[in-house]
């Protein structure tokens, strides 16, 4: 290991540039190491050989001419180069500044400056959000081409039927069924089921929509739309297409413009499909046209909206329709 | 340099600083040869050495205001020459690597055979090999080697001329010599491997 190190020192040893201690070490080593001795001789010979190789001397004519050519060169130099020569001259030493001390100071500074600028660029817009964005909301009810004429339900008939039934039932209950008295059934068994429940059914059906709904629902299962219709059984919401006009908005809540979307300057239109229940409250909201940053805000807002209940054929129905929420930055 | 010569030179410099081109001309005449040879050794070709040495003197003329009384003129101008030569070689190398067609430095010193007519073939070959090997060194290595071997500068002086630490001079010179020695192995009796 020592040997390799000393081999590197041989060049300096040859030039007599080593300090006393190193010189002694190298000299000691040289006296014992044949390889280093050979190396040292080689270096010495190289120097001699190099000094021996001289550039080809130029003739006198060349040297006579030399200064005058420089003179003309000086005269030819542009005047601005002459004045600026001092600075240019220092630059012409292309030895790049290898001052690590300066670098050590400048580099962290530079990094800090870059980070500061980057942070500024991120934080500044956050602190100053700019204009208040405007959210424009409107419900658009997409009207497809007129659908085929709806099957004409005979509302009058059904209603009268329902009325007659309901009117009849109490009569039946009053006349044929007396508490504690067994009466031979006059009608088919499902009529008995009706009778058993009719006590509640009558009252509920007529007066309380809510309670009746429960009973009616049970009854409705058997009798069909008759009872249910009266007590307001929930039917599948209808789509606001064609003749069915979208309900009127009773309560609306403006969507908030999400902060992140505002920062990102995201604009656009979110189209949602809202489903109201029979009371006109928005029950379900489904996004049809999505803008990921804005969807939630639109859904949250529309969910709080209340519409005028839709009455179709005398019965409240849920409605499905689309609402377009436009998010726009001003 | 005698005392008289020294003061004479100082006078010339003072005059040249004032814009006396005649005085500067005498200075050029005095140092043109060593500067030219230094440039020639650095570049390895006459044309380049000629351009470079001219350039060095022109630069020196305009930079005379930076020359301080206590400095030695030759050391000062040599510093300019070495650094400009390194610069030149780097630019040349870059141009060459970029495919520039400006081949001002002949890679083959044999291109001007009439320059050494009296030399034997073997010596010619040796010189050729040596020049080739010198060209293979990096610009700094070459500069250090030339300053040491031909200009007989101390490591300290070389370090100052090139603005590098002395330790760098030492290691680069060692490496340069190693390379040259390997290239010249055929012509070195004892040191051949």
* Longest CA span, chain A: 154
Partner-chain residue, chosen from B131, B155, B190, that has the shortest CB–CB distance to A17: B155
**CB within 8 Å: A11 and B189:** no
Looking at the partner chain, which of A39, A53, A88 has a beta carbon nearest the beta carbon of B191?
A: A39
**Residues whose CB is less than 8 angstroms from the CB of residue B11 and which lie 6 or more positions away in sequence, other chains included:** B23
DSSP string, B159-175: HHHHT--HHHHHHHHHH
- How many Cβ pairs within 8 Å bridge chains A and B? 135
Q: How far is A4 from chain B (nearest CA, A)?
A: 12
Query: Is B179:B136 a contact under the CB 8 Å cutoff?
Result: yes
Average pLDDT over every residue of A64-72? 78
CA dist B181 and A256 (Å) reads: 82
Burial (Cβ within 10 Å: 0-12, 13-18, ≥19) of residue A211:
middle
Q: Per DSSP, what are the bridge partners of residue A272?
A: A287, A323
- Residue B147's Cβ-count burial label (10 Å; 0-12, 13-18, 19+) is buried
A211 Cβ contact list (under 8 Å, min separation 6): A204
The closest of B158, B37, B39 to B92, measured between CA atoms, is B39
Task: Compute the distance between CA of residue A132 and CA of residue A325 in angstroms, rounded to an integer.
Answer: 17
Which residues does residue A312 pair with via DSSP β-bridges, in sequence order? A315
Interchain CB distance below 8 Å, B86 and A69:
no
Tell me the C-alpha distance between B115 and A136, whole Å: 91
User: Positive or negative CA dihedral for B185, B190, B191, B193?
Assistant: positive
Partners of residue A63 in chain B, C-beta under 8 Å: 29, 32-33
pLDDT score, position A251: 84
A-chain residues within 8 Å CB-CB of B126? 49, 53
What's the pLDDT band for A154 if we cut at 50, 70, 90? low
Residue of A nearest to B38 (CA): A55
Nearest CB to B87 within list A63, A74, A94: A94
pLDDT at position B181, please?
Answer: 84
Query: Do the Cβ atoms of B58 and A77 come within 8 Å?
Result: yes
CA A154, A158, A163, A164 dihedral sign is: positive
Q: Mean per-residue pLDDT for A37-53?
A: 81
Cα B41 to Cα B48, B50, B114, B129: the distances in Å are: 10, 11, 18, 14
Distances (CA, A) of A13 to A17, A125, A189, B41: 6, 66, 127, 24
**Interchain pair A82, B58: CB under 8 A:** no
Q: Please tell me the least confidently modeled range out of A26-30, A174-178, B154-158.
A: A174-178
For residue A226, is pLDDT > 90?
A: no
pLDDT of A112 reads 95
pLDDT, greater one: A77 or A80: A77
**Is B120 in a helix, a strand, or coil?**
coil
Give the pLDDT confidence score for residue A111 in this predicted structure: 96
Say if residue A116's pLDDT is above 90.
yes
- List pLDDT tens digits, range B165-176: 888 888 888 888
**Which residues of chain A are at the B interface, by a Cβ-Cβ cutoff of 8 Å?**
8-12, 15, 17, 38-39, 41-43, 45-47, 49-51, 53, 55-56, 58, 63, 66-71, 73-74, 77, 81-82, 85-86, 88-89, 92-95, 98
Closest CA to A269 of A136, A162, A145: A136
The set of residues, in sequence order, having a beta carbon less than 8 Å from that of B120 and lying 6+ positions away, is: none
pLDDT for B1 equals 60
- Give the lowest-confidence range in A34-38, A202-206, A290-294, A324-328: A202-206
Q: CB A15 to CB B155 under 8 A?
A: yes
How many separate helices (H) and strands (E) can be counted in chain A?
13, 9
Residue A295, pLDDT > 60, answer yes
Residue that wins the pLDDT comparison between A290 and B95: A290
Buried-state track A98-113, b at ≥16 Cβ within 10 A, e below 16: eeeeeeeeeeeeeeee
Q: By the 8 A CB rule, do B162 and B82 touch? A: yes
**Best to test chain A binding among B45, B188, B193 (most A CBs inside 10 Å):** B188
B101-121, pLDDT tens digit by residue? Answer: 334 444 444 445 455 555 577
How many CB atoms are closer than 10 A to CB A49? Answer: 18
pLDDT confidence of residue A203:
46
Beta carbons of A179 and A199 less than 8 angstroms apart: no
Mean pLDDT across the stretch A309-328? Answer: 82
Of B54, B148, B191, the CB nearest to A15: B148
Nearest-5° angle of CA B189, CA B191, CA B193? 105
Question: Using CB atoms, which residue from A41, A69, A93 is nearest to B54?
Answer: A69
- The dihedral over CA atoms of B137, B143, B145, B148, expressed in degrees to the nearest 10, equals 180
Q: Taking the CA atoms of A218, A219, A220 and A224 in sequence, report the sign of the dihedral they define.
A: positive
> Which chain A positions have a beta carbon within 8 Å of B171's beta carbon?
8
Contact in structure between A301 and A254 (CB atoms under 8 Å): yes
* Out of A224-233, A268-277, A298-307, B153-162, least confident range: A224-233
Average pLDDT on B79-83 reads: 87
Residues from chain B contacting residue A56 (CB–CB below 8 Å): 115-116
* Under 8 Å between Cβ of A204 and A229: no
- Predicted confidence (pLDDT) at residue A87 exceeds the cutoff of 80: no
Task: Say if the Cβ atoms of B188 and A42 lie within 8 Å.
Answer: yes
Task: Say if residues A8 and A2 touch (Cβ distance below 8 Å).
Answer: no
Q: What is the pLDDT of residue A120?
A: 92
What kind and span of H or E run contains A283?
strand A282-289
In the predicted structure, residue A108 carries a pLDDT above the cut 90: yes
Cα→Cα distances A207→A202, A203, A239, Å: 8, 6, 30
pLDDT category at A229 given cuts 50, 70, 90 is: very low
Could you tell me the CA-to-CA distances from A55 to A166, B33, B38, B49, B128 in Å, in that order?
A: 131, 11, 9, 11, 12
**Contact list, B39 vs chain A (CB under 8 Å):** none
Shortest CA gap A122–chain B (Å): 42
Global pTM value: 0.47
Q: How near does any CA of chain B get to the CA of A60, in Å? A: 11
B190, A38: Cβ pair inside 8 Å?
yes
C-alpha distances out from residue B121 to A114, A250, A282, B68, B134, Å: 64, 112, 106, 48, 20
CA distance B160 to B146: 15
Q: Provide the mean pLDDT of chain B.
A: 77
What pLDDT score was predicted for residue B47?
A: 82
Instruction: Give the chain A residue whose CA is nearest to the CA of B148.
Output: A15
The chain-wide mean pLDDT, for chain A, equals 71
pLDDT-derived band at A29 (thresholds 50, 70, 90) equals: confident
Provide φ and ψ at A86, rounded to 5°: -55, -50
* A66 contacts B162? CB cut-off 8 A: no
Q: How far apart are CA A236 and CA A278, in angstroms?
A: 10
Q: Please give the full DSSP string across B148-159, using - where no structure is assigned.
A: HHTS---HHHHH
CB nearest to B62's CB, from A10, A49, A82: A82
Average pLDDT of the segment spanning B85-112: 60
User: Would you call A157 helix, strand, or coil by DSSP?
Assistant: helix
pLDDT band at A200 (very low <50, low <70, confident <90, very high): very low
Q: Collapse the DSSP code of A138 into the 3-class scheme (helix H, G, I; strand E, B; otherwise coil) and give the result.
A: strand
Q: What percent of chain A shows pLDDT beyond 70?
A: 58
Pairing relation of β-strands A282-289 and A268-276?
antiparallel
């Amino acid at each position: 290991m020592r040997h390799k190190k000393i081999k590197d020192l041989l060049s300096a040893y040859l030039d007599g540039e080593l300090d006393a201690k190193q010189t002694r070490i190298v000299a000691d080593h040289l006296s014992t190491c044949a390889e280093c001795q050979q190396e040292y001789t080689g270096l010495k010979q190289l120097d001699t050989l190099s000094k021996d190789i001289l550039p080809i001397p130029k003739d006198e004519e060349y040297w006579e001419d030399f200064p005058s050519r420089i003179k003309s060169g000086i005269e030819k130099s542009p005047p601005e180069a002459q004045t600026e020569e001092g600075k240019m001259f220092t630059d012409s030493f292309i030895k790049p500044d290898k001052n690590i001390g300066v670098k050590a100071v400048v580099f962290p500074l530079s990094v800090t400056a870059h980070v500061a600028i980057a942070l500024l660029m991120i934080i500044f817009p956050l602190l100053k959000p700019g204009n208040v964005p405007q959210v424009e909301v409107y419900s658009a009810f997409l009207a497809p081409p007129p659908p085929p004429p709806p099957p004409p339900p005979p509302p009058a008939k059904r209603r009268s039927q329902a009325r007659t039934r309901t009117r009849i039932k109490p009569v039946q209950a009053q006349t044929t069924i007396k508490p504690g008295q067994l009466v031979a059934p006059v009608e088919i068994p499902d009529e008995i089921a009706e009778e058993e429940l009719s006590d509640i059914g009558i009252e509920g059906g007529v007066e309380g929509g809510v309670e009746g709904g429960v009973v009616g629902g049970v009854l409705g299962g058997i009798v069909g739309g008759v009872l249910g219709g009266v007590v307001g059984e929930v039917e599948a919401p209808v789509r606001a297409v064609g003749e069915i006009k979208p309900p009127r908005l009773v309560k609306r809540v403006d969507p908030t413009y999400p902060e992140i979307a505002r920062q990102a300057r995201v604009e656009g239109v979110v189209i949602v499909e809202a489903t109201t229940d029979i009371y006109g409250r928005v029950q379900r909201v489904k996004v049809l046209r999505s803008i990921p940053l804005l969807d939630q805000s639109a859904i949250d807002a529309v969910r709080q909206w209340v519409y005028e209940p839709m009455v179709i054929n005398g019965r409240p129905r849920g409605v499905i329709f689309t609402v377009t929420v436009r998010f726009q930055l001003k | 340099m005698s005392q008289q010569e020294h003061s004479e030179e100082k006078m010339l410099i003072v005059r040249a600083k004032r814009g006396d081109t005649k005085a500067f001309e005498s200075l050029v005449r005095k140092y043109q040869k060593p500067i030219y040879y230094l440039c020639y050794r650095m570049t390895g070709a006459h044309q380049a050495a000629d351009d470079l040495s001219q350039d060095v003197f022109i630069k020196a003329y305009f930079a005379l205001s930076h020359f301080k009384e206590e400095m030695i003129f030759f050391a000062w101008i040599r510093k300019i020459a070495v650094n400009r030569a390194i610069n030149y070689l780097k630019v040349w190398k870059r141009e060459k690597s970029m495919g520039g067609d400006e081949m001002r430095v002949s890679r083959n010193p044999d291109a001007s055979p009439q320059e050494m007519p009296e030399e034997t073939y073997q010596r010619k070959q040796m010189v050729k090999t040596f020049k080739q090997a010198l060209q293979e060194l990096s610009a700094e290595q070459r500069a250090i080697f030339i300053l040491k071997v031909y200009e007989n500068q101390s490591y300290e002086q070389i370090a100052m001329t090139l603005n590098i630490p002395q330790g760098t001079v030492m290691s680069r010179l060692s490496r340069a010599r190693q390379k040259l020695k390997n290239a010249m192995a055929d012509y070195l009796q004892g040191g051949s491997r």
